[in-house]
Structure 1
Amino acid sequence: METYPVRVTARLDEPLSRGLWIVKPILALPHYFLLAFLWMAFVVLTAVAFFAILFTGRYPRSIFAFNLGVLRWSWRVTYYSFGALGTDRYPPFSLQAEPGYPATLDIAFPEQLSRGLVLVKWWLLAIPHYVIVALFTSGSLVSWDNGVARTIDLGGVIGILVIIAAITLLFTGRYPRGLFDLVTGMNRWALRVAAYAALMTDAYPPFRLDQGGEDRPGEFAPVPHDGHDGHVRHTGSSIAALSIGAVLVLGALATAVGGAGLALARGDDGYVSSPVRTVTTSGYALTSEEFVVDRPGSAFLRDLVGTVRVRAVAVDQPLFVGIARQRDLDEYLRGVAHDRLPSRGVLPGGPPPTPPGVQQIWAAQSDGTLTWTVQPGDWAFVIMNEDGGAGVDASVAVAATLPSLRALTAGTLAAAAVLLLLGAGLIVAGLRLVTVEHPVSAP
C-alpha cells in the first residue's frame, strides 16, 4: 500500500470527561503562548532551510528536528483542545516524540530534496491544498447589526464537527466514532500540507481523506539523525535561543520595512506629503482646525517639522491660500459663510468684506502653493477663491520637509541591522546547542 512520508496517528481516549472540554481552551493557554514564539522560529528557520535546499539540496538536520518538534507540539495541543477533543491527557511541553501520547506525528527525513521544486511547491503547487485546508480549518458566521459586521469564528468544518462531538459528549458521555475518524482525517490532511509547505518533503500530498486514527502502514524512517546515526535533540537553551533569535529577526525585518518606508516617504522635491484630498464648500472659505505652537517648544518643533507647504489647486479659477493667527482669521471671517475642515457644514453668513489678498493678517500667503516656517502662536490655514467669491472646490495636499527624517531613517535602519545581527547570532547559537543522542549498541 502506498505510504506518505508524513505519519499522523491518533487514539481516542475513552472514557472522556463530559465537561472538561468547556475549559480546555483556558487550560491550553500556556501552550498557545509558547507556540506563538515557537512558530515565529518555525517561520524563520523554514526560510533558512529554503536557501539551504536551494544551494545544497539538503534540509539542515537540526532545523528539521526543530520544525518537526513544533508540528508535533502543535498537533498534540490541537488534539487535546478544539482541533479534535480526542483526549483529556494534558499535552507535554516538548518538541520530542512522545509515543505514549494519544496523538503522534512523524515525518521521514529526506536525504535529498529538489533544488528547483523548492522555488514553487510552497506557494504555487500547494494552492489547491490550501483551499481545501482553509475549508477544513477556518470559517466564520457573519451578521450585520446596524451596518456593523459581527463574526463568529467556527474553525471551519473541523470546528463545527468538534462542537457537535462536544455536545454529544456532554449529554451521552461518548464521542461518536464516525465524527472522530472524519476529524482525524481532516487534521491528517492539514498536517501533510503543512509539512509539504514547510519544505520538509518533496512528495506531493495526496488528495485523499485517510480517516481514522491509524495512518497507512509501510516502511517509515521518521527521526532525523546525523551522519553517525545519532538523534538530534533540541535542549531548553537551544529552543530559547532559536525563539528569541527569531523574534529579533522578525523585529529587524519589520524595523527595516519601517526605515525603508521613511526613506521613500520624501519626494524628489524634499517634502513628505499627504495624499491629495478634494475639498469643497458652497461658502466663501475653507479653514483648518486651530493648531497651537507653544513658545518653549517652537524651536524643537521647527527643527522637527521644518518648512510646511500647503498646495491647493482648482480647475476653473485661481485660489488664495493663507495662514493667520486664529483670532485674526476669526475676525476676518466673522459673519462670513464658511466651512471648517473636517467638514462640519457651512456656517451661515454672507460674503467677506474684502478679497483675502487685501488683508494684512497673513503670516504667509500664496495663489496656490504656500510655504511657512513654524512659529509660536495659535494658527489656522484658509483656502478661498482669489476674488473672495462663493463656492470653493480644490485639491489639497499638505507637506513638510521634516529635517530630522534622515537621522530617524538612519537610526531605524541601524537598529534593524543590530537586531538582525543579534537574532542571527542567537539562531546560529541555538542550532549549535543541539545534542546528538547516539543509540546504544547491543553487546
Structure 2
Amino acid sequence: MTDYPVRVEATLDEPLSRGLWLVKWLLAIPHYLVLAFLWFAYAFVTIAAFYAILVTGRYPRPLFEFTTGVLRWSWRVHYYSYAALGTDRYPPFTLADVPDYPARLEIAYPERLSRGLVLVKWWLLAIPHFIVVGLFVGGGTWLASRTGDGTFNWAAGGLVGVLVVVAGVVLLFTGRYPRPIFDFVLGMDRWALRVAAYVSLMTDAYPPFRLDMGGAEAGHEPPHPQPPHPHATGWTAGGSPPRSPAPCWCSARWAWSPAARPRCGPTAPSATRTATSAPLPRSSPAGTPWPPIRCGWRACRYRSSRASSETSGSG
C-alpha cells in the first residue's frame, strides 16, 4: 500500500478532563477569529495557485506552505474541539508543524502538477467525495462544499459531530474516551482532510475511498508527543526536530532499583551499557526478554516496579 501524500496523524491524549469539552467552544474563540482571516486569505492564495499551475505546472512553494499551514492549524483546533475532542492541550498559534502536539498534518510538496487536472479536479472529479464528506461532517467541518466566490463552507455536524458528542457524554460520566469512537472519528477526519488538500490543488493523487481508522496512517507509527527533556535545547517554529522520540532500553541499574535515577539511551545494547556501570541484562529476572520501551521516567518507573515484584517473587 503506497503512502498518500496527505498524512493525518493524532494521538488520544489521555487522561482527558471530564468537563472541559463543555467550554472548549469558548476557549477556541481566539483561534476561530484568527482562522477566519486565514481562510479568507486561503481562498485568494488558492486562486493564485490555480493560475500558477495552469501556466507553469507548479504550485509556488511559498503559497503551498501557507495553505498547508492553514489546514494544519485548522486540524489542530478541530482536534482540540468538536471534530475529535482528542486532547486538552491548547492549540498553538502557528502555521508551522509542532512535533510534540498530539495532532499533526503533513502534505508532501509536488514538484509537478497536471495543467489539465487543475481545471476539473476541484469540482467535477471531487463530487463523489463531496457526497461522502457531507455525510461525515454535515456539509461540512472541512471542505464539503464550495461557494461561488471561492470561499469554503465548514461547520460542525454530520456523523462526526454526533459521535463526538456521544464520546463527550461518556467522558463526562466515566472519565474515559471510547477508543472505537476515536478510531472511527479519526478515519472520517482523515478522509475529509485528504479531500480538502485535493480540491485545494495541492496534489494530483486522487483521494482513496478508504476509511483508514485510528490515529496512525497505514504502515506508520502514531505520533508519541512527550514533554521535552529538561536538558534539551529550545526549538523555534519552522525547525525540523525528530518526529518522535527513539525507542530505548532502561539501564540495568534503574530496572532493578526503584530508588535509582532513570537512565535511558538509544536503542542499542552497547549504547545502553555506556550509560551505566552495570552490565545490561538481555532478560528480566523472571527469564523473559525485556521489550523495547520509550524513554521517560514513567516508563522506567513502571519497569522498575515490575522487575522488583518479579525479583521478590522469585526469592
Q: Give TM-score scaled by structure 2 length.
A: 0.64
Asked if 1:114 corresponds to 2:120, the answer is: no
Is the contact between residue 18 and residue 169 of structure 1 (CA under 8 Å) also seen in structure 2? yes
Q: Which residue of 1 aligns with 2:50?
A: 50
Q: Which residue of 2 aligns with 1:126?
A: 126
How far apart, in 2, do the equivalents of 1:43 and 1:68 lie?
A: 13
Instruction: State the aligned residue count.
Output: 209
Question: How does 1:353-364 map onto structure 2 within 5 Å?
Answer: none
Q: Which residue of 2 aligns with 1:216?
A: 218
State the Cα distance separating 1:130 from its structure 2 match: 0.6
- Assess, with a 3 A threshold, how the Cα gap between structure 1 residues 46 and 154 changes in structure 2: closer, same or farther: closer
**Structure 1 ranges of 4+ moved more than 6 A:** none
State the Cα distance separating 1:3 from its structure 2 match: 1.2
How far apart, in 2, do the equivalents of 1:128 and 1:58 lie?
A: 26
CA displacement 1:357-407 (0-9 Å, x = unmatched): xxxxxxxxxxxxxxxxxxxxxxxxxxxxxxxxxxxxxxxxxxxxxxxxxxx
Is the contact between residue 83 and residue 156 of structure 2 (CA under 8 Å) also seen in structure 1? no
Q: Which residue of 1 aligns with 2:189?
A: 187
Q: Which residue of 1 aligns with 2:170?
A: 168
CA displacement 1:203-246 (0-9 Å, x = unmatched): 0000000000001237xxxxxxxxxxxxx96xxxxxxxxxxxxx
How far apart, in 1, do the equivalents of 2:96 and 2:156 lie?
A: 31
CA displacement 1:270-313 (0-9 Å, x = unmatched): xxxxxxxxxxxxxxxxxxxxxxxxxxxxxxxxxxxxxxxxxxxx
State the Cα distance separating 1:29 from its structure 2 match: 0.2
Q: Which residue of 2 aligns with 1:256?
A: none
Identity over aligned residues, as a percent?
67
How far apart, in 1, do the equivalents of 2:199 and 2:40 lie?
A: 15
Letter in 2 for 1:119: L
Letter in 2 for 1:55: V
CA displacement 1:241-264 (0-9 Å, x = unmatched): xxxxxxxxxxxxxxxxxxxxxxxx
CA displacement 1:188-215 (0-9 Å, x = unmatched): 0000000000000000000000000001
CA displacement 1:37-88 (0-9 Å, x = unmatched): 0001111000000000000000000000000000000000000000100000
State the Cα distance separating 1:176 from its structure 2 match: 0.3
How far apart, in 1, do the equivalents of 2:219 and 2:101 lie?
A: 19
Asked if 1:204 corresponds to 2:213, the answer is: no
Q: Which residue of 2 aligns with 1:319?
A: none
Q: Which residue of 1 aligns with 2:249?
A: none
Q: Which residue of 1 aligns with 2:22?
A: 22
Unaligned runs of 5+ in 1: 141-152, 219-231, 234-443
SS in structure 1 at match of 2:122: helix
Q: Which residue of 1 aligns with 2:74?
A: 74
SS in structure 2 at match of 1:7: strand
How far apart, in 2, do the equivalents of 1:172 and 1:201 lie?
A: 42
Question: How does 1:21-420 map onto structure 2 within 5 Å?
Answer: 21-138=21-138, 155-217=157-219
Is the contact between residue 123 and residue 197 of structure 1 (CA under 8 Å) also seen in structure 2? yes
- Assess, with a 3 A threshold, how the Cα gap between structure 1 residues 190 and 18 changes in structure 2: closer, same or farther: same
State the Cα distance separating 1:168 from its structure 2 match: 0.3
SS in structure 2 at match of 1:105: strand
- Assess, with a 3 A threshold, how the Cα gap between structure 1 residues 157 and 15 changes in structure 2: closer, same or farther: same
Structure holding more strand per residue: 1
SS in structure 2 at match of 1:130: helix
- Assess, with a 3 A threshold, how the Cα gap between structure 1 residues 19 and 210 changes in structure 2: closer, same or farther: same
How far apart, in 2, do the equivalents of 1:78 and 1:86 lie?
A: 9
- Assess, with a 3 A threshold, how the Cα gap between structure 1 residues 154 and 77 changes in structure 2: closer, same or farther: closer
How far apart, in 2, do the equivalents of 1:55 and 1:139 lie?
A: 32
Is the contact between residue 110 and residue 203 of structure 2 (CA under 8 Å) also seen in structure 1? yes
- Assess, with a 3 A threshold, how the Cα gap between structure 1 residues 139 and 129 changes in structure 2: closer, same or farther: closer
How far apart, in 2, do the equivalents of 1:163 and 1:137 lie?
A: 13
Unaligned runs of 5+ in 2: 141-154, 221-236, 239-315
How far apart, in 1, do the equivalents of 2:55 and 2:137 lie?
A: 34
Is the contact between residue 186 and residue 213 of structure 2 (CA under 8 Å) also seen in structure 1? yes
Letter in 2 for 1:102: P
SS in structure 1 at match of 2:72: helix
Q: Which residue of 1 aligns with 2:146?
A: none
State the Cα distance separating 1:139 from its structure 2 match: 6.5
How far apart, in 1, do the equivalents of 2:137 and 2:56 lie?
A: 34
Is the contact between residue 126 and residue 195 of structure 2 (CA under 8 Å) also seen in structure 1? yes
Question: How does 1:421-440 map onto structure 2 within 5 Å?
Answer: none
Letter in 1 for 2:187: G
Q: Which residue of 2 aligns with 1:250?
A: none
Is the contact between residue 181 and residue 211 of structure 1 (CA under 8 Å) also seen in structure 2? yes
CA displacement 1:112-153 (0-9 Å, x = unmatched): 00000000000000000011111111179xxxxxxxxxxxx8
| Higher Rg of the two aligned structures | 1
Q: Give TM-score scaled by structure 1 length.
A: 0.46
State the Cα distance separating 1:106 from its structure 2 match: 0.2
Is the contact between residue 154 and residue 160 of structure 1 (CA under 8 Å) also seen in structure 2? no
SS in structure 2 at match of 1:121: coil
State the Cα distance separating 1:2 from its structure 2 match: 1.8
How far apart, in 2, do the equivalents of 1:63 and 1:46 lie?
A: 8
